[in-house]
Structure 1
Amino acid sequence: MKAYTYTSVALAVTISFLTGCGGGGGSSSNTSVGTTPTTPVTSEPEWEAGVYEPQSEFIAKCETPRTGVDPFTGNAYPDTQGTAMDEKLWLRSWTNDTYLWYDEVDDNDPENFSVLGYFDQLKTNELTPSGTPKDNFHFSQDTAEYNELSQSGISSGFGFSWEFVATTVPRELTVRYTEPNSPAALASVPRGAKVVSINGVDFVNDNTQQGVDAINSGLFPDDAGTTTSFGFELIDGTTMSVDITSTDVSVTPVQNVKVLDTENGKTGYFQFNSFIVTAQEGLIEAFDTFVEQNVTELVMDLRYNGGGRLALASQLSYMVAGPNQTNNATFETLQFNDKNPTTNPITGQTISPTPFYSNVIDYNAGRLTDTLLPSLSLTRVYVISTDATCSASEAVMNALRGIDVEVVQIGSTTCGKPYGFYPTDNCGETYFTIQFQGVNNKGFGDYADGFMPTNTPNFDFELPGCEVEDDFTASLGDTNEGMLSAALEFAATGACPEVVSGNGVADVNALRSNQSALVGEKLIPIDTPEKRRENFFLHNKINQPVIKEQD
């Protein structure tokens, strides 16, 4: 069964599918004779099928306008008094202008939806060649919450990264890993622990509304300082009960940096969880170590990396490939809808290829610095992947293949997101809708069903490598862990492990038997003071590709 993979975001475990809720109908004046109206009377615009007014007619006209100054920009909020219909019609025009598949969106009457409900259906209903939904990446986030997470590197929670194997009875929720120094880590909850109870409620089987509400409340507290009683079943079958109090968690995107002494020489390994701004320092430290240690092979563990900034993806690709292979080559070129063949509809700039960024970036100023990044100049790299490997992670794989760096894929098919978006705020909600597709130096970007490891690649979305299950019985970075073990075996022999289970997937227990003699390791600590944000989105994926060149 395919696991549904999520991080610590307020994802409801529900009895039945629930739709989002948002603003209602138009505003009205609530006044009486002899009083002064406190809310201005606002006329509501009307929807006309097939007629799309300019976005400017509706943007920042809000049913509930924000007041004061945006703490993240220092500017006054642009909101003015409007109606829910204004918000919906802005979403409609914005979608029609910028959505990659705008001509596949049904023009339904917005009066029949809440604001968020209306946005939810402003997307294509078409399918990929494999029969999965073409757009699995359409979502929104409260703007204040989004800004807090994306700008500060801090999120409120316990510090768990969860693997949701099943969200309906019998539920299965497994710990992927815990953030260093988080409450979950300090409570010594190990990878592979399965939740069996939340605040005394049977997590696996309770299907009452009261039970579901209690589970969600306990798993995803709204505020720091909330204590939840967890019951876990560990890998060895024993149980563990622990009370954990939520707090503001600093996220460490680069973890478990190691140099392994193998039969094939020095092999670098690192776990990379999110392409967020604060990852730059950790990546540079890791590659500095790899260069100093004369690493000749590299394993990038992207199994839980849902994506992020494409500029960081470009930097990582350069650090792998080095200056000679990336010189005058394109990391990625963005392609927008057919209304915008040469101009970026978001920025208004002429579309130009994104290079392989070879320098440190000042992300606060949006500028390249004069400091050169470290690089390994490798011609082959091993990527550990799952269906949670998405977006910018896939862009790295695609970009390296575009300059003929061999990418060996260990694990399972990636999520399939050659697309991206510019997060756009309106009236306190930040919206994410697919606006572009990225293609590599060879013009390839058709991997909507994901990159797939195989012994005999025949298509551009098929990569040499081994299909291996995620192994929750060992810690990430442990050479006995199934996926890393398979990568090291492939590096040593040039082939996938011979021992497989009945379904054809490599048997992780058999993989371990020869690794202890094959590998020695040196742990390189990564400990930086910068605040980091959690990779908190469902699949994703904050693709913010624009960066200004230094003047």
Structure 2
Amino acid sequence: MRPVLVTPLLALSLVLGACGGGDGGSGTVANGGGSATPTPSPTPTPTSSACSLSERQAWALAALQEWYLFPDQLDSSVDPDAYTDLQSYIDALVAPARAQSKDRYFTYVTSIEEENAYYSSGETAGLGVRLGFDYSAGRLFVIEAYESGPAYPLGFDRGTEIVSIGTSPANLQTVSSLFASGGIDAVSAAMGGSAAGTTRTFQIRQLDSSLSTVSVTKRNFELAPLSPRYGYKVMTSNGRRYGYVNLRTFVDTAEPALREAFAEFRAQGVTEVVVDLRYNGGGLISVAETFSNLLNRGRSGAVMSYTRFRDSKSDYNETAYFSAENSAIAATRVAFIGTGSTASSSELVMNAQKPYLPNDVALIGDNTYGKPVGQIGLDYSACDDRLRVVALRTENAANEGDYYTGLASTYPATCRAVDNIGYQLGDAADPMVMAASGFLSGASCTAIGAAPGGIATQSVRSAATRRPLEAQDPNFAQRELPGLF
């Protein structure tokens, strides 16, 4: 499917987006495969009052009534006058589906301009870090840093702890005191908005326990979908060579980067791969299809996935097939690294692989988020509104879908491993990479669904209670990448 089809005032795009980070997070998405894209009916040309709240509410309700995947779970009786913003009204309309864990904040309104900028180049504004909050210890850590962001050159990297936050060195407040006084919302609010030019001062603690105070001004930057430091490499474990690839997000610029990675794997004769999607909340289906093709040389014409709309929109159902990629490898064994932040397009790639490597594919780490549904994007251009509507669901070639509780219970093999941010991503000593390479070599492991054992005694940098810090008013990139600031 092509990402965007524009009519005079309405655009429809299909992507598989983020889980939003945790059970209370928001998500983006449109799921599926194939080549046909539904063409919505044009909306009337707006008048000068078209962007009033009542007009936008009426537009959103009509769109949901036409496209929502769960029409019997749409509460059309909600009084729009009871809500002072569009998103709260949408949340009320889809609340019945959310209560059944079928739409966990996946239907929402966002900015057309923000979304287009993100998917075309990965562009957003902020510090350029993803943050994880340890709810047990009340501590805040950098779990990933983007090399092009303003914070990375000032000492922020994976494992860095943010001890205090302020608008200047004179008014720093400790993260622990913020959390004690106002909960996680106070911590998130202290980070400030994502607007370029916003400055915050931090006291940070490095892995060697050294402390420093730095001020960072947020700015626009591009999110490289594969890190120039650890995006891909060929590694050796127990005498076996395997490829490692870490995809941050499914944006347009990921395709050439993925092709480059797999060309290297192919040149070195690699057929076993560790695919690290531990923080990847999803994105464009076209990129998910390219990723799947790169793993499946020789399967052109075989079914990759099925996309299903509601009964009244069944004419848009479609089938995606594997196609040839020059850089593709014929993967013989694949270990996918995942966590609760792994969702949507990431899960689509993982689910699509199962029927073809039933005994040679595994989920490593923790259970995934559980988002087998996708969204279409409906545009109200005059108001810069894009409504992401859950409108479809996907299945793999074996007609397996509906993994609303995550992929762990459906996967042929799983290995539990902790996400220890004391190790850089792609480090051979990282517990998740070690467990993944162990699976490739046939080592035994503890299944994800088994008793947690000693996880509770792990250090704070591998704590099981750490989850992405959610922004109070997330922009589009923060919906796609939970914990992004």
TM-score, normalization by structure 2: 0.77
- Mapped to 2, the partners of 1:103 and 1:225 lie a distance apart of 45
User: Counterparts in 2 of 1:69-88, with a 5 A limit?
Assistant: 81=50, 83-88=52-57
Determine whether 1:183 maps to 2:183.
no
Determine whether 1:447 maps to 2:403.
yes
In 2 relative to 1, CA 209–477 (structure 1 residues): closer, same or farther, beyond 3 Å?
same
8 Å Cα contact 2:301-2:323 kept in structure 1: no
Aligned-pair CA distance for 1:403:
2.8
SS of aligned partner of 1:230: strand
- Mapped to 2, the partners of 1:272 and 1:294 lie a distance apart of 21
8 Å Cα contact 2:307-2:319 kept in structure 1: yes
- Counterpart of 1:306 in structure 2 is 281
- Counterpart of 1:436 in structure 2 is 392
- Counterpart of 2:212 in structure 1 is 240
8 Å Cα contact 2:302-2:322 kept in structure 1: yes
User: Counterparts in 2 of 1:231-270, with a 5 A limit?
Assistant: 231-255=203-227, 256=230, 257-270=232-245
SS of aligned partner of 1:537: helix
Determine whether 1:116 maps to 2:82.
no
Residue identity opposite 1:472 in structure 2: I
- Mapped to 2, the partners of 1:84 and 1:428 lie a distance apart of 13
8 Å Cα contact 2:133-2:140 kept in structure 1: yes
- Counterpart of 1:338 in structure 2 is 311
Aligned-pair CA distance for 1:505:
6.2
Question: Percent identity, aligned pairs only?
Answer: 26
Could you list the runs of 5+ residues in structure 1 that have no partner in the other structure? 12-16, 20-54, 66-79, 345-350, 359-371, 453-458, 511-532, 541-551
8 Å Cα contact 2:243-2:274 kept in structure 1: yes
Determine whether 1:354 maps to 2:325.
no
Aligned-pair CA distance for 1:221:
3.7
Residue identity opposite 1:111 in structure 2: D
- Mapped to 1, the partners of 2:57 and 2:122 lie a distance apart of 31
In 2 relative to 1, CA 395–133 (structure 1 residues): closer, same or farther, beyond 3 Å?
closer
SS of aligned partner of 1:240: strand
- Counterpart of 1:413 in structure 2 is 367
Aligned-pair CA distance for 1:118:
1.2
- Mapped to 2, the partners of 1:137 and 1:476 lie a distance apart of 28
In 2 relative to 1, CA 431–134 (structure 1 residues): closer, same or farther, beyond 3 Å?
closer
Determine whether 1:291 maps to 2:263.
no
Which of 363, 377, 384 is the equivalent residue of 2:330? 377
User: Counterparts in 2 of 1:122-133, with a 5 A limit?
Assistant: 122-126=93-97, 132=101
Give the count of matched residue pairs. Answer: 422
Aligned-pair CA distance for 1:291:
0.8
- Which one has the largest radius of gyration? 1
8 Å Cα contact 2:371-2:404 kept in structure 1: yes
SS of aligned partner of 1:243: strand
Q: CA RMSD in A?
A: 3.5
8 Å Cα contact 1:157-1:220 kept in structure 2: no
Aligned-pair CA distance for 1:216:
4.7
Could you list the runs of 5+ residues in structure 2 that have no partner in the other structure? 1-17, 27-39, 167-171, 460-474
- Mapped to 2, the partners of 1:284 and 1:82 lie a distance apart of 43
Aligned-pair CA distance for 1:258:
1.1
Deviations 1:255-288 (A, max 9, x none): 2111112225211102111010000111011001
8 Å Cα contact 2:115-2:477 kept in structure 1: no
- Counterpart of 1:229 in structure 2 is 201
- Mapped to 2, the partners of 1:390 and 1:165 lie a distance apart of 21
Deviations 1:108-133 (A, max 9, x none): 122222333211222142468xx756
- Mapped to 2, the partners of 1:418 and 1:5 lie a distance apart of 11
- Mapped to 1, the partners of 2:236 and 2:50 lie a distance apart of 64
Which of 326, 329, 343 is the equivalent residue of 2:302? 329
In 2 relative to 1, CA 59–215 (structure 1 residues): closer, same or farther, beyond 3 Å?
farther
In 2 relative to 1, CA 424–263 (structure 1 residues): closer, same or farther, beyond 3 Å?
same
User: Counterparts in 2 of 1:170-209, with a 5 A limit?
Assistant: 171-199=138-166, 200-206=172-178
- Counterpart of 2:109 in structure 1 is 140
Aligned-pair CA distance for 1:415:
0.5
The structure that is helix-richer by fraction is 2
Residue identity opposite 1:354 in structure 2: A
Aligned-pair CA distance for 1:474:
0.7
Q: Which moved more, 1:394-403 or 1:238-247?
A: 238-247
Which of 125, 132, 152 is the equivalent residue of 1:156? 125
Residue identity opposite 2:141 in structure 1: T
Aligned-pair CA distance for 1:217:
5.9
In 2 relative to 1, CA 464–443 (structure 1 residues): closer, same or farther, beyond 3 Å?
same
- Mapped to 2, the partners of 1:278 and 1:157 lie a distance apart of 20
Aligned-pair CA distance for 1:402:
2.9
SS of aligned partner of 1:135: coil
SS of aligned partner of 1:430: strand
Residue identity opposite 2:319 in structure 1: P
